[in-house]
Amino acid sequence: MQTFTVQRPAVQSPHGLVAAQNRHAAEAGAAVLSRGGNAMDAAIVTALVLSTVEPWLSGVGGGGFLVHADGRTGATETLDFNVRAAAGLDPADYPLTDGQSGNWFAWPAVIEERNVSGYSAICVPGAIAGFAAALARHGTLSWEEALQPAIEHAERGLEIDWFAALCIAIDAAGLSRDPAAAALLLDDGHPPKAGADTRRFKPMARKAALLRRLAKAGARDFYEGESARMIAADLEAGGSPIRISDLTAYEVAWAPALAGHYRDFDIAALPGLSGGPTLLDAASKLEGGPLSRETTPAQTALLYASAIREAYATRLTTLGHAATPQAGCTSHVSVVDRDGTMVSLTNTLLSRFGAKVALPHAGIFMNNGMMWFDPRPGQPNSIAAGQKPLANMCPLVLSRNGRPVLAIGAAGGRTIFPTVLQLISGLADFGLSLEETFHRPRIDASTPCIKIDARAQADVAATVATAFPVEIVEDTLYPVNFSIPSAVMAAPAGGFIGMAHPTSPWAAVVAATA
């Protein structure tokens, strides 16, 4: 038996930081900061590059949320650019496989998994509209400038290193069922192999062409121009109910942040159909309990599990939640610029590679947003035409004394808010540094069986087991048992500090140089 300890040091800079799940994307965002761009500029550039360098997690065929906090005024604002069901969708096209009523954490399956994979699982994507709207409102870059790094990466192609090869291999069977996806990523129907001494790239020529067209014609071309006609034709040919009218009608939604607090932090979250309300619910339960710096790790884990489970009970019986056997796959970006302005942005395709569909002419992977709806009729989050589903994403900005001090979020489906809550608690309840709280063993209480990190003290599992069933698991790359967070924070002595998930091989925090 071998035991490995993985440590990732925090990164500091007086000029700003970008924390993301892929170094290429974080470097592109940090370069924007170094050239004088602001936090929103860097966040959008990072997210656009992520859609190419990690297409299994996020992309322009998906949707997302963001929180913006002004470093000078402290003003916060949120943007909802999540996916939406087609106006012509018929819920009867998603019949259940049996008569089970389902439960909080495992709804009954749909025949042929029509809500999980294939063209029937796709919702109208909002990423392009969201990125463009965010840039127009709070950025300084032009839309064309923001797209250039992503275009360059698409033209160069996806780098097939060992991690990319693993991510493709995990879903090779699903990808092989879609001709365009198979042609893009597989080698004669098989997962690509990464050689120790070779660097292989899989160019994304059609995606690069789409992005170049959007750079010249503008973002709305994705929804109502030549690009929209191409995308709608691809979708209709594949059997999706989405039509060009759905694309044309798509709009993002700016809104005031949902305000909450935890200890001496003020929290700005997404209102409505996000993980934000549930996180604030769990935080209030935790804050009202006996948690203190004297609480042992075992007692702390039980308090976390109880607060999270109670909040999930409310979420899943009043708001609905898509809990399927597939873990969510998402990208999160946390950015701070030299002025202290912060952006917390989460973009997702939902499952790994989304619907496992690449549009043959547009060359982009599409979301499987239908998975987020409750397939049972008559529920708060049931499948419905033209509606947005309840999402797990939970980007946050935390403030003190009216100024932003922490941008944080995570990827990982229903495990997101439990992770973010524990990280915030590490800072607020135990006085840990950002680096220390990121390395602390976590639990996940998003399912009936509480997952305990194998690195936790021996009595943690025993204590949690007095109230809940438990399972001891490793924090592995696959399966992903805990979500993948990133954060940037104002350092107590000045400047900024950032952290990415310690065990994620491509995650990185990159500092601006000026």
When pLDDT is averaged across residues 412-431 and rounded to a whole number, the result is: 95
Distance CA 325, CA 198 (A): 35
Distance CA 359, CA 391 (A): 24
pLDDT reading at 324 higher than 50: no
Distance CA 414, CA 323 (A): 7
**Contact by Cβ (8 Å): 212, 119:** no
Q: DSSP label at 93?
A: G
Over the stretch 325-381, which tens digit does the pLDDT of each residue have? Answer: 344 568 999 999 999 999 999 999 999 999 999 999 999 999 999 999 999 998 889
Cα torsion through 287, 292, 297, 301, rounded to 10: -10
pLDDT at res. 107:
75
Is residue 5 very low, low, confident or very high in pLDDT (cuts 50, 70, 90)?
Answer: low
> By CB neighbour count within 10 A (0-12 exposed, 13-18 middle, 19+ buried), where does 410 fall?
buried
Higher pLDDT, 320 or 315: 315
Over the stretch 192-206, which tens digit does the pLDDT of each residue have? Answer: 988 644 568 999 999
pLDDT reading at 106 higher than 70: no
pLDDT at res. 414:
87
Helix/strand number for the chain, H first, E second: 16, 19
pLDDT at res. 3:
53
pLDDT reading at 320 higher than 50: no
Tell me the pairing of strands 484-490 and 342-351. unpaired
| Tokens linked to 136 | 């127009």
CATH number of 18-157+203-511: 3.60.20.40
Sign of the dihedral defined by the CA atoms of residues 295, 296, 299, 302, in that order: positive
Over the stretch 274-310, which tens digit does the pLDDT of each residue have? Answer: 999 999 999 999 999 999 999 999 999 999 999 999 9
pLDDT reading at 323 higher than 50: no
Tell me the pairing of strands 450-453 and 470-473. parallel
Q: Under DSSP, is residue 63 helix (H, G, I), strand (E, B) or coil?
A: strand
pLDDT at res. 330:
82
Over the stretch 366-400, which tens digit does the pLDDT of each residue have? Answer: 999 999 999 999 888 999 999 999 999 999 999 99
Distance CA 469, CA 205 (A): 49
For residue 305, give the amino acid letter: A
When pLDDT is averaged across residues 72-84 and rounded to a whole number, the result is: 98
When pLDDT is averaged across residues 85-99 and rounded to a whole number, the result is: 92
List Cβ neighbours of 494 (8 Å cut-off, separation of 6 or more).
14
Q: How far is CA 321 from CA 50, 133, 172, 340, in A?
A: 26, 28, 27, 35
Task: Provide the residue ranges of all domains of the chain, joining segments of one domain with +.
Answer: 18-157+203-511
Over the stretch 133-169, which tens digit does the pLDDT of each residue have? Answer: 999 999 999 999 999 999 999 999 999 999 999 999 9
Over the stretch 208-253, which tens digit does the pLDDT of each residue have? Answer: 999 999 999 999 999 999 999 999 999 999 999 999 999 999 999 9
pLDDT at res. 7:
85
Q: How far is CA 391 from CA 102, 149, 321, 394, 458, in A?
A: 19, 29, 8, 9, 34
Over the stretch 463-507, which tens digit does the pLDDT of each residue have? Answer: 999 999 999 999 988 888 999 999 999 999 899 999 999 999 999
